[in-house]
Structure 1
Amino acid sequence: MREYLERPGFIAEVIRTDRRKTADIRVEDGAVLIVIPISLPIERVDSLLKTKRTWIKEKIALHREAQPASEKQFVSGEAFSYLGRNYRLKVEEGAFQPVRLLKGRLVVTVPKGKDQPHMIRNALIRWYKRQAEQKLCEKVERYAPIVGVEPADVRIKTFKSRWGSCTAKGILEFNWRIMMAPNRCVDYVVVHELCHLKRHDHSAEFWKEVGKVMTDYERLRTYLKHSEYGVW
């Protein structure tokens, strides 16, 4: 269950879960996230955000300073790739609404102000992460029996220079930015990490396992190696 709270300079995404007894405030990729128990009153959430406002603003500022220069201005008409296809951004002004894919456009509603580009960027990242959570889990479920493995868990992460990883505990971690690549490339990354559950190296035996499932893996691997998805 997700809710959104508009506050000066940022939008806080509120997630209610029965797996927490206390509130947890995070700033991930410059976006504010607060995970709370299901029964916690929204007034209490507002109080927590006020208490942590200075810390939140500092975290957001540090994230912005660390970001490389981007050609994106996050305005209507800009193109953003999803599964290899470009979709035009449509920005509407008003009370915040998360990104929706409507009639071939990525539509987002944000309040007017100097922080609007940052809010749009964060809203887009949140949308890509939600798509990654759904699509990558579906693909893992599809390919795991074919590879002949069973991962311990699937998690969505932010990596600077890799598309995914397989931990020693059998947890598959995927970079949300892979959702910008063509669908076949996403399949390859999933198969690649699943095969690491058999071989934790990049030996000839490992690539043989990948090739059993995807005969065109070399082409896909080369394509991703030279791609620049998600530089914004």
Structure 2
Amino acid sequence: MDKIELIRSNRKSLAIEVTRDLRVIVRAPVKMPEKEINRFIGEKADWIDKSFRKMQERQENQPQGRLLTPQDIKLLTTRAKRVIPPKVDRYAKVLGVDYNRITIRMQKSRWGSCSGQGNLNFNCLLMRAPDDVVDYVIVHELCHRKEMNHSDRFWALVESVLPDYKEKRKWLKDHGSELMQK
């Protein structure tokens, strides 16, 4: 870590970010004194160090050592648009639920979501996961059509369709950050 970039803007609080390209950025309010910013950086030094090392490790473990290109993302999105809707249709019938629109896009932190109106969103990066993990995410989101929460009833519903869902969920927790790497 060579230097810390300071970006001032019309914000109310301080924030620190370690980017994928290994830059450390501090965002600060325009009028905040430099002394206060430096004190904040000092207090967060351990976190900055840890986050920087973690990001460095991710870079080193990056498959093929390269980032996804816009073309890669387009291909993943196209594939997802072909693969996911028939699966959604099949599992919706199994669960006896309906849904509205299916949207596929690149997302930074979510695999899927379900709105109160029944719109389903899926991350194109799911196409980098095993097929049964994709099924789990689809079933998870469709179960929200009956239970818009993560209650015991919700998980029982997921389990009624995928008895081994905990394995898929664990796989996603263990490997999800690798898939999210862009």
TM-score (norm 1): 0.50
Q: CA deviation at 1:224?
A: 0.2
Higher strand share: 1
Match for residue 181 of structure 1 among 118, 121, 129: 129
| Amino acid aligned to 2:107 | F
Tell whether the 8 Å contact from 2:79 to 2:127 is kept in structure 1 after alignment.
Answer: yes
Give the equivalent residue in structure 1 for 2:87: 139
Flag the structure with more relative contact order, 1 or 2, with Cα contacts below 8 A and sequence separation at least 6: 2
Match for residue 167 of structure 1 among 115, 119, 130: 115
Higher helix share: 2
Tell whether the 8 Å contact from 2:99 to 2:120 is kept in structure 1 after alignment.
Answer: yes
% same residue? 38
Match for residue 123 of structure 1 among 63, 71, 95: 71
Q: CA deviation at 1:162?
A: 1.7
Q: CA deviation at 1:67?
A: 6.2
RMSD: 2.4
Tell whether the 8 Å contact from 1:180 to 1:230 is kept in structure 2 after alignment.
Answer: no
Cα distance in 1 for residues equivalent to 2:94 and 2:77: 26
Cα distance in 2 for residues equivalent to 1:214 and 1:162: 20
Give the equivalent residue in structure 2 for 1:20: none
Aligned residues: 126
Give the equivalent residue in structure 2 for 1:211: 159
TM-score (norm 2): 0.63
Query: SS where residue 165 of structure 1 aligns?
Result: strand
Give the equivalent residue in structure 2 for 1:192: 140
Tell whether the 8 Å contact from 2:101 to 2:119 is kept in structure 1 after alignment.
Answer: yes
Give the equivalent residue in structure 1 for 2:36: none
**Structure 1 unaligned spans of 5+:** 1-65, 80-116
Structure possessing the higher radius of gyration over alpha carbons: 2
Give the equivalent residue in structure 2 for 1:231: 181
Give the equivalent residue in structure 1 for 2:99: 151
Q: CA deviation at 1:222?
A: 1.0
Tell whether the 8 Å contact from 2:73 to 2:106 is kept in structure 1 after alignment.
Answer: no
Q: CA deviation at 1:129?
A: 0.5
Q: CA deviation at 1:71?
A: 3.7
